[in-house]
Structure 1
Amino acid sequence: MSDMSYDAGGASAPLDLSASVDLSEVRDWFALLKPRVMLLVVFTGVVGMALAPGDLHPVLAAVAILCIAVAAGAAGAINMWYDRDIDALMRRTVRRPIPGGRIAPRAALSFGIFLSIASVALMGLATNLVAAGMLAASIGFYVFVYTMWLKRRTPQNIVIGGAAGAFPPIIGWAAVTGGIALPPLVMFLIVFLWTPPHFWALSLWAHGDYARAGVPMLPVVAGPRETRRQILIYATVLVPVGMAPWFLGFASVWYGVASAAIGLWFLHACWRVFTDAQDEAGRSLTNDAPARWAFRVSLMHLAGLFACLAVDHWIFG
């Protein structure tokens, strides 16, 4: 296709591609923030704010939500900077901006550090130091504990590292109240226990990527059969833990019934993973179709639990 355009008189003129190039660059910088991960993180933080007693001015609440989103994105950018070597080896991640050569590693690191500092500082100015401190702790845990320490050393990386993604409900609650209480800790526990089966379902059908990159995910180290067993165990524990807000009195029986139904749905999906047809080595004979389905259900499971918490709070107080 020609890169020339024509004016009204028919004379040729260069076609200005700057707008499309700039838009492509913006997409790459936005991709550094891991926006799909950010959505669920922000949603759990918003629910933490919604359930918190007290009032926060809508403008300050919007700023707090923005800070949670930016902090999650900043941690994602630093993670992509640090993991650029293994990202280049995995089919799932090889097209990311840094291994794809579209963003320089040092620029990505500077971007992540700037957003980290800015989000924590703004949270402290807009709300309180407790919320800002918890936000800083979530970034530090994801970057230093999970990304730099656990991910390449132990198959328990997701189990322990899952705490990083469980902070937002506590941050949202602290933004409103200036403190921490039992309800956000329960929400933290829900996300913490949800994270391993969610990521292990993904790792079952992406284990080849992790093996090539030398990342000791559970299917690589312990095998797919043990991974399926662990997924089922965690999903079983999640059913009563998901109902805990009702047991502990800060949600109604309506939430208890809804959370049980959602939890049993996820448990059934994990049971299908556990009973998937396997060869002698435990490898799936169905191209890990149940694991792919369980991964999608896990996303709806967590979003559903927190949505039910929010609706229950708005209806029943």
Structure 2
Amino acid sequence: MPPRTSVSEASPQPAAPVALWRDLLALTKPKVISLVVFTAICGLIAAPVRIDPVLGFTAILCIALGAGGAAALNQWWEADLDAGMRRTANRPLPQGRLQRSTARDFGIGICAASVLLMGLAIGWLAAAILLVSIFYYSVIYTIWLKPRTPQNIVIGGGAGAFPPLIGWIAATGHITPMPLVLFAIIFFWTPPHFWALALFVKSDYAKVGIPMMPVVAGEKATRRHIMGYAVLLLPLSMVPWFLPHEATGPVYGLSAMVLSLVFLALSLRVGLRTRQGEGDRMVPEKQLFAYSVIYLFLIFAALVLDRFVAF
């Protein structure tokens, strides 16, 4: 399927090997991938079995490669959009440091390698879910949802929720309620996390015609939605403490309660604000966005710590 973007395939002289390596790495969105890899590791370690370290490393490597490949395909498809947004204009493709076809082939290549290696080394159920997650992000979210609906982040949030599920399946070989709850936690965390960012970069999205919630529905509606998802996230984050047959202990339960209450408090600050506008410093929104990243790291770290304490 040819891309709808208009950035030329032409490129300056080939980059030096070091620069090429760095630009290919940048295509994988390393900062985003770090959170993906961390939640996948937590899902794998929290599973009630012990996995061979080599197989565990292989599983995480496959998840990282798959997520990185999907990110590269996202940038290949959105090269012209990235060029029009201040936040993304310095990426390799908008800057002409790589050919579009290079990004496409690199993304497809490492995605295919990740799924094949996962299937052969770990199991085909984990490989199938990994393939679904890649397709979900690079096609369903990037190509279909993002340019068409302000609910793109809500529905597309499933793409980032797969890693702990895949990690758990890689360790156990099957799906149980716990990894589905972990999937749901990230799914409901994603909208307030991303909408907090979208509130203070909404002019970028408006400029390139992406129908993010603040652009289409306005800031007031976006703030209400942030509060709504934060309210739902609080009890959902507590479910692993009470889950039959797979319940976590007080380390996770108390940590999740405190972390989610802080998340809710910051979300209420954003949701109840009356001042709006690009000229505003939007400190509460930036605080919520920054904390949301810390929140996900800490709640999954608490899950792992709880398992070690239980042992």
Pairwise same-fold verdict (TM > 0.5): yes
In structure 1, what is the equivalent of residue 11 of structure 2?
A: none
Match in the other structure for 2:35: 40
Q: Give the match for residue 153 of structure 1.
A: 148
After superposing on structure 2, the runs of 4+ consecutive aligned residues of structure 1 that deviate more than 3 Å are none
Which residue number corresponds to residue 299 of structure 2? Answer: 305
Read off the aligned partner of 1:106 and give its amino acid letter: S
- What residue in structure 1 maps to residue 136 of structure 2? 141
Question: Which AA in structure 2 matches 1:123?
Answer: M
1:22-69 alpha-carbon deviations (Å, 9 max, x no partner): 332221110000111101111111111112232321111101111110
Partner residue, 1:10: none
Return the match for 1:228 from 205, 219, 223.
Answer: 223
Quick one: which amino acid aligns to residue 115 of structure 1? I
Alpha-carbon distance in 2 for matches of 1:287, 1:78? 33
Cα RMSD (Å): 1.3
Q: Is the 8 A contact 1:277 1:286 kept in 2?
A: no
| Aligned positions of 1:113-152 closer than 5 A | 113-152=108-147
1:154-200 CA distance string (max 9 Å, x none)? 00000000001101111111111111111100000000000000000
Residue segments in structure 1 that go unaligned for 5+ positions in a row: 1-19
- CA distance in 2 between partners of 1:287 and 1:205 (Å): 8
Larger radius of gyration: 1
Q: Which residue among 72, 79, 97 is the counterpart of 1:77?
A: 72
1:196 aligns with 2:191: yes
Aligned partner of residue 157 in structure 2, secondary structure: helix
**1:254 Cα offset (Å):** 2.8
Cα deviation, residue 274, structure 1: 1.7
Deviation at 1:259, TM superposition (A): 0.6
| Cα distance in 1 for residues equivalent to 2:299 and 2:278 | 30
Q: Which residue of 2 aligns with 1:265?
A: 262
Aligned to 1:110: 105
TM-score by length of 2: 0.92
Cα distance, 1:108 vs. partner?
A: 0.3
Match of 1:254 in 2: 251
Task: Name the SS of the counterpart of 2:96 in structure 1.
Answer: coil
Instruction: Please tell me whether the aligned partners of residues 276 and 284 of structure 1 are also in contact (alpha carbons under 8 angstroms).
Output: no
Which residue of structure 1 lines up, in the alignment, with residue 4 of structure 2?
Answer: none
In structure 2, the partner of 1:283 is 277
1:166 has 2:173 as partner: no
Q: Is there any run of 5+ residues in structure 2 with no aligned partner, and where?
A: 1-14
The 3-state SS of whatever aligns with 2:88 is: coil
Q: What TM-score does the superposition give when structure 1 sets the normalisation length? A: 0.90
2:211 counterpart residue number? 216
Aligned pairs (5 A) from 1:92-103: 92-103=87-98
